[in-house]
Each structure stands twice: as C-alpha cells, then as structure tokens.
Amino acid sequence: MRPVEEHAAVVTALLPPAPTVDVPLAAALGQVLARDIPAPISLPPFANSAMDGYAVRAADLTSFPIELPVSQDIPAGRQDVGPLAPGTAARIMTGAPMPADADTIVQVERTDGGVDRVRIDSAPPAGVHVRTVGEDVVAGSLLLPAGSVVHGPQIGVAAAVGLATLPVRRAVRILVLSTGTELVAPGQPLGPGQIYESNSAMLAAAIREAGGEPVLAHFVSDDVDEFSDRLASAAAEVDLVLTSGGVSAGAYEVVKDALTGRGVEFAKVAMQPGMPQGAGHVTLPDGRAVAMVTLPGNPVSSYVSFEVFVRPAIRAAIGHPDPLRPAVRVPLSVGLESPDGKRQFRRGVLDTVAGTVAPWGGPGSHLLAWLAGADAMIVVPESVTSLAAGDEVEVWLLS
Ligand SMILES: Nc1nc2c(c(=O)[nH]1)N[C@H]1C(S)=C(S)[C@@H](COP(=O)(O)OP(=O)(O)OC[C@H]3O[C@@H](n4cnc5c(N)ncnc54)[C@H](O)[C@@H]3O)O[C@H]1N2
Ligand code: MOO
C-alpha cells in the first residue's frame, strides 16, 4: 500500500502556486496576501484631537480657573484650520485637525463648555489627548507582509490608508463531481435503494473554508460515457477536478473505469478511512490536461481524504502560512483499536477542561452524523493497533 505522505506529495504537486490577482477589499476576506503592502500614507495622516474639548497652549494656562476667548471652532473634517492665536482657545472635536501652535487638549468636562469664551478649571499635561502624525503607521513602512491572511482588521487598515484593492493569491477553482446511480438531490423524493447526495455539498463547503472556490457539477450516474461527457464539458477553467465515488474494487466503478490509462494513478493508501485513492492529470478530448483527485465515495472517507490530501494542497497553492491543521498531543479518555498497517483517522471530541480527547462514534466510514458532531481528528500511527485510556495521541483541531 502507498504511504499517506507519498500520496499527499502527489496531490500537492498537482496544484502549482495560484496566480496573483488584485481584488476589491471585501473579496480579499480569507485570502492570502501575495505581496508586501507598503503604507501609502501615515496614520494618523495629520495631528488631531482624541477628545471633544479645547485646543490651547500649555504656556497660556498660568493658573486655574482661567478664562480664554474662543478664537476658532474646529469640527472633524474642517480643512481651513489656522494657527492658534496666542492667549486663546480653539473649540475642537474628536478627530479634528490640531491648529498649529496648540499643544494641549482640555476635555470639555474640565470646562464650562463656552462658545465665545471658555472657563478652564484644570488641564491634562501637554500632548496627552493629541494623536500625532504616523503614531500608528509611518508612510512607506511595511503595512501588511506577504503571506498574511486577510481578516477584518487587515481589510480595515488597508481601507484606512486609502487602498481599495489588495493583491491576493487567486482562489484555487475546484470542480466537484460526485458519482453514483443511487444518488438523489436533497429536496427530491427518495425511491427504494436511493440515498441523498451529500458529498458534493460537503466538499464544496470544505473547499470554500480552505480558501478555494468550488464549482459544483453535482453528480452523475455510474455510466462511463455520462461521466466522461460531464468531465469534458465541466472541467474548463478549473485548476482541479475532485470526484467522489467509483474508485474501489467492484463492478460499476465509473471513475476508475473512465480514467484508467488516461493519466490518473489509482492506489490503495495505507489509511482508514480513505484507502482507495486516485490522482493525476487527465487529457480531455480537446487535448487539455486537467488535474484530478478521485476520492472514495463513503462520506466520511471523502471528508477525511479531503482533510489529509486536498486541504493542505489548496492552502499551499494559495501561499497560506499554515497549510496543516493545528495539532496537539493529549491523552485519550477512552481506549480504541486500530487496523495494523494503516494510519487511522478517528473522529474525536476534545475536552478542553480535562485536556483529553475521546473517540466520537465508531471507525465506520458511513457514520456521517458522528463526523458532524466531532471537533477533532485523532491520528493513530500505522504500527499501533491498540491504545488505552491515558495514552497520548496526536489530535488535529478541526474548528
Ligand atoms: N471488495 C471491496 N469492496 C470495497 C473496498 C475494497 O477494497 N474491496 N473498499 C471499500 C472502501 S475502504 C471504500 S472507502 C469504498 C469506496 O468505494 P467507492 O469510492 O467506489 O464509492 P462508492 O462505491 O461509489 O460508494 C461508497 C458508499 O458511499 C456512498 N456514496 C457515494 N457517493 C456518495 C455521495 N455523493 N453522497 C452520499 N453518499 C455517497 C455510496 O452509496 C456507498 O454506500 O469501497 C469499499 N468497498
Ligand atoms: O477506506 Mo474506506 O475509506 O474504509 O471506508
């Protein structure tokens, strides 16, 4: 059987680094910055008041209380602010430009709030409520480094320096194509022997969460011609085709039957679930080669295979700083058994108070509801067949 790492390397090699695109700020959410972003302006761009109150010179506050004439009124956004005349105060609002020659902001609470004249009862030291130019960001300095993942604060600071777009790695586009004559779309009536198709919706969601862009082709029956036709028509403009089902050992293995000898290598990988896998480049009838990963159809096998092979490949292609799930080592709260010679990926639930993990449901690859209730993946090495409560295991954090 093929080792897990060997198949992972084959899948990762299918996705080259994604090209750089400039996208509007909102579309950059969750993407990875492709270049260093220097600051085009300083923040704050001009010295301004941090409080509603009065701008004065500290040197004019010779005793308290003191009354000064109000020589200017400066709301935020005022563009014609003149220097502060000696022996006067300027009424000023939060975010409004400091008048030249003023060095002190007296909050309105320390005054009588006068409009023409103001009585000042006390004052903070000079500079305390003044926001200086470049205190946050200096023009020309590194604002956001390449490789940063764009969340709300990164979008916020980009907007604050006036950027309307950001250069990010384009999301990897992945066509999701499920196979199975027994499949019915959710929302439709279910006949005898039929099941609802769940892999394409689940994989599309996982692709989006990983930073990719799913393209849904829904599903096709176990018919080689139908599968080949759908593949030829739907594979345009995608970076990868991801199929589920039709790759094991029986008859009617549509993916295996359609793609054997066309560039996809099918292998048994030493893992459970997720043993039957395939990956490679398929040449379409028009001569284009398209990268393909063929996942097994059992829903938990499909999802675990995605986690182990496809998610890291997507994140590596978009330059994500953390292609792998964060992992911890914690003791099991209950023991478990594992097949010899296969790396077992068991669904688990972490107890963050006790610092332990428990297997969640059995190892069966049809137990989708148990997967939905898990928040962790327990990784049991190939050589380990039995673990007891208290034994330490590697655990991937899924949420
Ligand atoms: N004789 C053998 N039989 C099987 C072997 C084997 O080595 N020898 N391997 C088993 C393992 S392990 C797996 S995993 C599965 C993989 O089978 P396929 O990839 O060919 O998948 P299917 O047969 O098409 O489906 C398996 C299972 O999953 C359900 N399914 C499929 N697609 C979907 C979907 N889109 N949404 C929901 N459920 C789906 C399908 O109905 C089957 O129950 O093979 C074992 N057999
Ligand atoms: O490998 Mo299969 O994935 O056991 O169910």
Tell me, using a 6 A CB cutoff, whether residue 365 lines ligand 1: yes
pTM: 0.89
CATH code for the domain in which residue 218 is found: 3.40.980.10
Judge contact between 124 and 44, C-beta under 8 A.
no
Distance 225 CA to ligand 2 centre (A): 26
Cα of 256 vs centre of ligand 1, distance in Å, is: 12
- Structural domain contains residue 78: yes
Positive or negative CA dihedral for 237, 239, 245, 249?
A: positive
* Six-digit token string for 389: 């409560």
**What's the domain range around 58?**
48-131
ipTM of this model? 0.98
Amino acid at the residue 378: I
Claim to verify: residue 299 and residue 192 sit in the same structural domain: yes
- Residues 230 and 156 occupy one common structural domain: no
Residues 126 and 86 in one domain: yes
Task: Classify residue 245: in a domain, yes or no.
Answer: yes
Indicate whether 236 and 293 sit together in one domain: yes
> Same domain, yes or no, for 58 and 177?
no
Same domain, 127 and 163: no
Whether residue 120 has pLDDT greater than 90 = yes
Count of structural domains within the chain? 4
Q: Is residue 112 part of a domain?
A: yes
Cα–Cα distance for residue pair 87/194, rounded to 1 Å? 87
Q: Which two tokens stand for residue 211?
A: 């930073």
Tell whether 187 and 280 lie within a shared domain.
yes
Residue 322 lies in a domain: no
- Which pLDDT tens digit goes with each residue over 182-224? 999 999 999 999 999 999 999 999 999 999 999 987 788 999 9
Residues 107 and 157 in one domain: no
Residue showing tokens 């739907």:
234
Taking the CA of residue 304 as reference, the ligand 2 atom at the shortest distance is 3
What gap in Å lies between CA 297 and CA 22, rounded to an integer? 37
Instruction: Quickly state the pLDDT bin for 233 (edges 50, 70, 90).
Output: confident
Ligand 2: residues with CB < 6 A are: 272-275, 296, 298, 301, 365
385 in a structural domain: yes
For residues 188 and 286, state if they share a domain. yes
Q: How confident is the model at residue 363 (pLDDT cuts 50, 70, 90)?
A: very high
Same domain? For 33 and 159 the reply is yes
295, 317, 339 — which closes off a domain?
A: 317
Residues 53, 106 within the same domain: yes
Residue of 258, 262, 217, 213 whose CA lies nearest to 235 = 217
Q: Could you tell me the distance, in angstroms and rounded to a whole number, from the CA of residue 298 to the centre of ligand 2?
A: 7
Segment 294-318 shows an average pLDDT of 97
